[in-house]
Amino acid sequence: MNDSILPEKEQPGAPEADLPPPSAPKNISISLRGFDTEDHARAFGNMLATYVRELSRHIDLSALDGVTVAFDYAHALLDLDRGYETSHRLTPSEGIVYGVAMTPSVMRDGRVKSHMVFHAGVLLALEDETHELYGQALHMLAHECAHVEVTERFNAAFPGMLLQTKVGVHERYRWDIIKACWDEYAVTQICAPFGRRPTEDYEETFITALNETRQRANDLIKAYRLHGDHGRITGEVYGAYGELMKFAAYHLGNMVGLGLTLEDLPKTKAALEGHWFAPYFEKLKEACAAIAAHYGSWTDRGAFEALGDLADEIVVEGGVIVYGDREDGGFAVKVPFTPETMPDMS
C-alpha cells in the first residue's frame, strides 16, 4: 500500500506552465507586527504574499484566513480573533521544543478557516536566499501552509465537527491526540520537498521524548499519590504520552514524505530497539498510513478513532485506566500502585 499523500503531478520546481493555478485567496491578508519601519514591513509582506501564492500551487490554501508575522509572537497568538467563543488561550508550545509558528482554526462567516501565525524572527531569512537559515524558513512556511490544507480536508469530510462539537473530557483527550498525530503526520509529508530537510531535528526531538516520557509520566503519578486529583492526573498523563505520539508522528510523516525507512535512520532504530514504545511506534505508523490511504475521502471517523484507541492503550500501560465514561462527560479512573509510581516517603 502506498501511504504517501504527496500529489504526484505537483512537483516543486516544475515550469510554471505545468503547475496548477494558485489556490490561495486572491487577496491574502497579511498582518505585520513590530517591524522596524513601515517600508520594511510593506516590502516583507509583499514578498511573503508571493511565497504563499507560489506554495499554493502545490498546497491547497483555499481555506487560508490570513497570515500574521509578529516579533511579539506570544501576544499575537493571544490577540488573534478566533471568530468564536472559547476560553482556550493560544500560547507558544514549551518543553522539548519551543514553538515559533502555529496555524489555529478560526471561524469566519460560519466557515472554518486557518490563520497562520509566525514569530517574525524565523521568517526574516526569506529576504535573502543565500542566508544560512533560508531553507529552514521556507520549510517552516510550507509546513504551516500544509496545516491549512490538512485542516480543510478534515473539515470538508466532517463538517460541523471542528470548533462546533462539544465532547466529554475523555473524548477530548483522545481527539486532541488524534488530531495532533494525524495533522503532523500528514503535514510533514506534504511539506517534505520544500526547503531544508528537518529529519535530524525530528529524530533528535523524538529520541529525547522517547527517553524522557515514561519517567515524566511516572513522576506525575507520584505527585498524584499526594494530591489525589483524578481529573488532573488524567489530563497530565494523556498530555505526556500524547506528546510522545505527536513527536513520533512528525518523524514518521517526514520519513514517508522523503522515502526514508528505519534502515536510513540508525539512531532512531537503535533508540527503539527493546524500548517499551517500539511496538506502539509501528502501530502508530500503521494507523496513520490507514488514514492517509483515503486522504480527503473519508466516510467515517473509524480510522481516526484507531489513534485514540492507541492513546488509551499507551496510557493504560503507563498506569492510568479510564473507564465508565458518562453522558455528562465524566468518567472514573484507576491508578494502580506500582513500584515505579510510588513516591519516596523516606
Query: Is the same domain home to 95 and 197?
Result: no
With a cut of 80, say whether residue 232 has pLDDT above it. yes
The amino acid sitting at 108 is R
Mean of the per-residue pLDDT values for the chain?
94
Closest CA to 242 of 112, 93, 91: 93
Number of domain units in the chain: 2
Please tell me what DSSP assigns to residue 293: T
Q: What are the tens digits of pLDDT across the range 119-143?
A: 999 999 999 999 999 999 999 999 9
Query: Is the same domain home to 263 and 150?
Result: no
Q: Cα separation of 5 and 298, whole Å? A: 14
Domain boundary among the residues 165, 193, 225 is at 165
The predicted pLDDT at position 61 comes to 98
Q: What are the tens digits of pLDDT across the range 193-208?
A: 999 999 999 999 999 9
Give domain status of residue 268, yes or no: yes
Give domain status of residue 175, yes or no: no
The predicted pLDDT at position 15 comes to 58
The predicted pLDDT at position 325 comes to 77
The predicted pLDDT at position 189 comes to 97
Write 213-221 long-range contacts (CB < 8 A, 24+): 213/240, 213/241, 213/243, 213/244, 213/277, 214/276, 214/318, 216/240, 217/241, 217/318, 217/319, 218/318, 218/319, 218/340, 218/341, 221/319, 221/320, 221/335, 221/341
Query: Is the same domain home to 292 and 209?
Result: yes
Give domain status of residue 180, yes or no: no
Domain boundary among the residues 165, 198, 217 is at 165
Binning pLDDT at 50, 70 and 90, where does residue 9 land?
Answer: very low
- Comparing 329 with 290, which gets the higher pLDDT? 290
Give domain status of residue 209, yes or no: yes
Q: Cα separation of 37 and 42, whole Å? A: 9
CA-to-CA separations, 92 to 78, 89, 176, 196, 317, in angstroms, rounded: 10, 10, 16, 23, 30
Query: Is the same domain home to 140 and 261?
Result: no
Query: Is the same domain home to 22 and 119?
Result: yes
- Comparing 262 with 98, which gets the higher pLDDT? 262
Percent with pLDDT over 70 in the chain: 95
Query: Is the same domain home to 189 and 333?
Result: yes
Query: Is the same domain home to 156 and 193?
Result: no
State the Cα angle at 244 between 243 and 246, rounded to 5°. Answer: 60
Query: Is the same domain home to 141 and 207?
Result: no
Global pTM value: 0.94
Give domain status of residue 72, yes or no: yes
Binning pLDDT at 50, 70 and 90, where does residue 329 land?
Answer: confident
Please spell the DSSP secondary structure of 174-222, one letter per residue.
HHHHHHHHHHHHHHHHHTTTSSS--HHHHHHHHHHHHHHHHHHHHHHHH
Residue carrying the nine cell digits 506502539: 280
Binning pLDDT at 50, 70 and 90, where does residue 5 land?
Answer: low
Q: What are the tens digits of pLDDT across the range 250-301?
A: 999 999 999 999 999 999 999 999 999 999 999 999 999 999 999 999 999 9
The predicted pLDDT at position 80 comes to 98
State the Cα angle at 323 between 327 and 247, rounded to 5°. Answer: 100
Indicate the SS3 state at residue 160. coil
Query: Is the same domain home to 139 and 218?
Result: no
236 lies in which domain range? 185-341
Query: Is the same domain home to 68 and 110?
Result: yes
Q: Do the Cβ atoms of 141 and 123 come closer than 8 Å? A: yes
Please tell me what DSSP assigns to residue 20: P
Q: Cα separation of 13 and 310, whole Å? A: 39
Query: Is the same domain home to 211 and 335?
Result: yes
Name, in order, each residue with C-beta under 8 angstroms of 227's C-beta and a sequence gap of 6 or more.
none
Q: What are the tens digits of pLDDT across the range 148-187?
A: 999 999 999 999 999 888 889 999 999 999 999 999 999 9
With a cut of 70, say whether residue 3 has pLDDT above it. no
Domain boundary among the residues 121, 137, 165 is at 165
Burial of 277 (0-12, 13-18, 19+ CB in 10 A): buried
Q: Do the Cβ atoms of 320 and 333 come closer than 8 Å? A: yes
Query: Is the same domain home to 208 and 238?
Result: yes
Q: Do the Cβ atoms of 307 and 181 come closer than 8 Å? A: yes
The predicted pLDDT at position 326 comes to 78
Give domain status of residue 10, yes or no: no
Q: Which helix (H) or strand (E) holds 33?
A: strand 30-33
Name, in order, each residue with C-beta under 8 angstroms of 289's C-beta and a sequence gap of 6 or more.
1, 3, 256
Binning pLDDT at 50, 70 and 90, where does residue 4 land?
Answer: low
Give domain status of residue 9, yes or no: no
Q: What are the tens digits of pLDDT across the range 44-85?
A: 999 999 999 999 999 999 999 999 999 999 999 999 999 999
The grid cell for 48 is 511573503
What average pLDDT does the segment 86-93 reach? 92
Q: Cα separation of 189 and 220, whole Å? A: 33
